Structure 1
């Protein structure tokens, strides 16, 4: 019964996301609205992680299975896909490199900013040599 209730909660939030997609005139998929709703409910404490944990883990575990129909559809339309294969591969490689580089630079900037904050706090005597508060 617990799994049915958890699945119903996830399904309900997804349904609310689809309703928002219908009501709000932005080109954002309903699933993204659903993810944002789920995130906000979890962050605000309105929904506890225990309310969806087991079913969420199950859905993540079976996610690769969900790609089989898409792969079968690609195989069925190979003639049309074949003409776009090289441009799609080039775009995929370039966009992957750009995303990786951007994520790396942002991470480096965040780490640098955090280290500067710790150094500044050490100079002010707020934290000890381990980055922990003295109080």
Structure 2
């Protein structure tokens, strides 16, 4: 299992390296996943070998969402009393994060002197 996880992480690392070295506007993990897919198509033996590990990962992926669900259920009564304020805070902070992210991107683009396409 450790070897198979290492294989997955190595492909992600290769994708990150390719994305950064070539300056591609594509996330490294996506490139790594495409390379892994190509490799699995070319070497079906590798696909057979890592299948059990990937099934375990996918089967337990939902555990990442459990803490958020527990938090919502644990404070369900607060939605009745503070629902409007919570909705405003969530929507406002999301909008603010998008605005700050876009402004940061524009500022960095100007800083490095990239041309407008």
Q: Please classify the TM superposition score into its range, dividing by the shorter chain length.
A: 0.5 to 0.7
* Residue matched to 2:35: 37
SS in 2 for 1:48: helix
Between Structure 1 and Structure 2, the one with more helix by share is 2
1:21 aligned to 19, 22, 29, which one? 19
SS in 2 for 1:26: coil
SS in 2 for 1:81: helix
Between the aligned partners of 2:88 and 2:13, the Cα distance in structure 1 is 36
Q: Which has the larger radius of gyration?
A: 1
Distance 1:47 1:10, change over 3 A: farther
Deviation at 1:43, TM superposition (A): 1.2
For normalisation by structure 2, the TM-score amounts to 0.54
Note the aligned Cα RMSD (angstroms): 2.9
Deviation at 1:46, TM superposition (A): 7.1
- Consecutive unaligned residues in structure 2, runs of 5 or more: 73-85, 95-117
